[in-house]
Amino acid sequence: MNSATPLSQLAITEWFEQGTLFSIAFQSLVSLSSGHVVGYEILSRPTTQKGTSLPVEEFFELIAQLGKAVDMDRLIVERAMHLAHNYHINVPIFINLHPDSLSDPAIQQHLIPTMDGTVVIEITERGNWSGEAMEPVVHHYQNLGGSIALDDFGAGYSGLQKLVTVRPNYVKIDRGLVDGCDKSAIKRNLIASIEQIAKFLGFSLIAEGIETYDEMVTCMTLGVDIGQGYYFSRPASWERNPVPDTALTRNVAALRTQMMPIDPNAEDYYDPFRAHFALLMEHLATGSLTKRDQLNLLLTTIDKVLHPFSITCFLRQNNGLVPVASRGHAARSIVSLDLPSVIGQCYHSKTPQVIQRFSQTPEALKSTTRDFGSPESVAVMPLGRPVWGILQADFLSPSSWNSSRLQILQGMAELLTILIPSENLIPF
């Protein structure tokens, strides 16, 4: 694996015929608020039978030309899901797919059970993901709860069009804009403009290719949510522990605290709420939505307005609370009402529970529903009269729940209670 082997279409054909050899590497995505790892991008590394590495970009370009992109994606998705299960990876994995792969039945078999944000499909600005053929496929995947990341944003001319048609959960700023952004006023202004769009449309912003401390600080200053690049960690096999150094993680959290001190009493003005709430009412007024559709629409609206790390709706069944729908990085675990937890406390007391720094919560109440990341601000709302369920949302940053956010979340919980009787909800 010392040198890359030149490729041809014949070499690609032989690669498939002789046995498909490739390895999987993981590269961490790091919250620029807390320093925690909030995801991993899956990177495939094809090799020859002798173990020599093949040039990755050229390899995938030739595969697409030969019409074998979906065949390769099947192999990658199957391997990635297998590794995620075996290694108990408890943050989302990001997988780059060819446009045709999202509608492939074999790939769907792996993706449909993960419609809770645990798998994020990356689509590139350079790929042909727009148009009448692809839009229904992408939107169907999102309506089921699947998450989409728009990759390479800013690398071409079609990014804004894809932003409108795809409506992604994440947007990854192309590394060409991130590289040297600390030294370029033009790049900083472009990133700041994208960040303003992210605030209004409600997607998380990821800066790719961060390689220096100054680039990281610049992205933090400009309000980017997540960083990825060699500064944090290089792609590596899971056995080689592809995570940032713990000291770097602590430094990120400390820097964010110094740069953006959080006042828990500060009042934020959520201009996007007006637009998203109006759109929500317009959709609900059609009368053609099932209760499941209405629930997903409500959670999507909360997600776009408040932009939490995760949000989950739970239904009381027997002696536990069972998740029935989620957005963000929430898992599908049952919360036992026999054990102490913030969610259980909310259910029994029938009153909202808000924690501004989860790390300072008594250990007896820390049992929640997922392992993803390390949420620091948690809000839990009861649903129904009598209470039949719970609505939970959280943020990575401490003290994120001010009265504006809580009022929006509580209002949505009331709307959910009115619209959706508990008997209409079915667990995952």
Structural domain tally of the chain? Answer: 2
User: Same domain for 175 and 276?
Assistant: no
Asked if residue 112 and residue 142 are part of one domain, the reply reads yes
Q: Which of 267, 282, 277 is nearest to 300 (CA)?
A: 277
Cis omega (within 30 of 0) for bond into 242: no
The CATH number covering residue 344 comes to: 3.30.450.40
Specify if 168 maps to a domain: yes
- Choosing from 225, 259, 293, the residue where a domain stops is 259
Whether residue 149 is contained in a domain is answered as: yes
Give 412-418's long-range contacts (Cβ < 8 A, gap of 24+).
412/298, 412/301, 412/302, 413/381, 413/382, 413/383, 415/298, 416/295, 416/298, 416/313, 416/383, 416/391, 417/383, 417/384, 417/385
- Residue 263: count of CB within 10 angstroms of its CB: 8
Same domain, 75 and 214: yes
| DSSP secondary structure of 327-356 | EES---PPEETTS--HHHHHHHHTS-EEES
Helix, strand or coil, per DSSP, at residue 268: coil
Q: What string of pLDDT tens digits covers the 428 residues of the chain?
A: 344 445 787 888 888 888 888 999 999 999 888 888 889 999 999 988 888 888 888 888 888 888 888 999 999 999 998 888 888 887 889 999 887 888 888 888 888 766 566 788 888 644 566 656 677 777 777 777 778 888 878 665 556 777 777 778 899 998 999 999 999 988 998 998 888 888 777 788 999 999 999 999 999 888 898 999 999 999 999 988 888 888 887 778 777 666 654 444 444 444 556 667 777 787 777 767 788 778 888 888 888 788 888 888 998 888 888 888 887 765 557 888 888 888 889 999 999 999 988 877 877 776 654 444 567 889 999 998 888 899 999 888 788 898 888 989 999 999 988 887 765 555 54
What is the C-alpha to C-alpha distance for residues 64 and 57, in angstroms, rounded to an integer?
Answer: 11
Same domain? 244 vs 284: no
Look at residue 15 and tell me if it is in a domain: yes
DSSP codes joined into one string, 149-196: EEEEETSSS-HHHHHHHH--SEEEE-HHHHTTTTT-HHHHHHHHHHHH
Residues 140 and 284 in one domain: no
Query: In this structure, is the dihedral angle defined by the CA atoms of residues 392, 396, 399 and 404, taken in order, positive or negative?
Result: negative
Same domain, 411 and 281: yes
pTM of the model: 0.66
* Residue 379 belongs to domain spanning: 271-424
Residues 170 and 307 in one domain: no
4 part of a folded domain: no
What's the CA gap between 116 and 374, in Å, rounded? 17
Q: Which residues contact 287 (CB under 8 A, 6 or more apart)?
A: none
Question: What's the CATH number where 191 sits?
Answer: 3.20.20.450
Q: Alpha-carbon distance 188 to 221, whole Å?
A: 10
Q: Is residue 1 part of a domain?
A: no
Same domain for 347 and 229, yes or no, is no
- 240 and 294, same domain (yes or no): no
Is the residue at 38 inside a domain? yes
- Answer yes or no: do 34 and 92 share one domain: yes
Specify if 3 maps to a domain.
Answer: no
Instruction: Flag whether 265 is in a domain.
Output: no
Q: Which helix (H) or strand (E) holds 29?
A: strand 22-31
Domain end point (choices 227, 259, 291): 259
* Same structural domain, 143 and 15: yes
Q: Are residues 231 and 172 in the same domain?
A: yes
Q: Which of 259, 291, 325 is the last residue of a domain?
A: 259
Q: Which two tokens stand for residue 274?
A: 């007006």
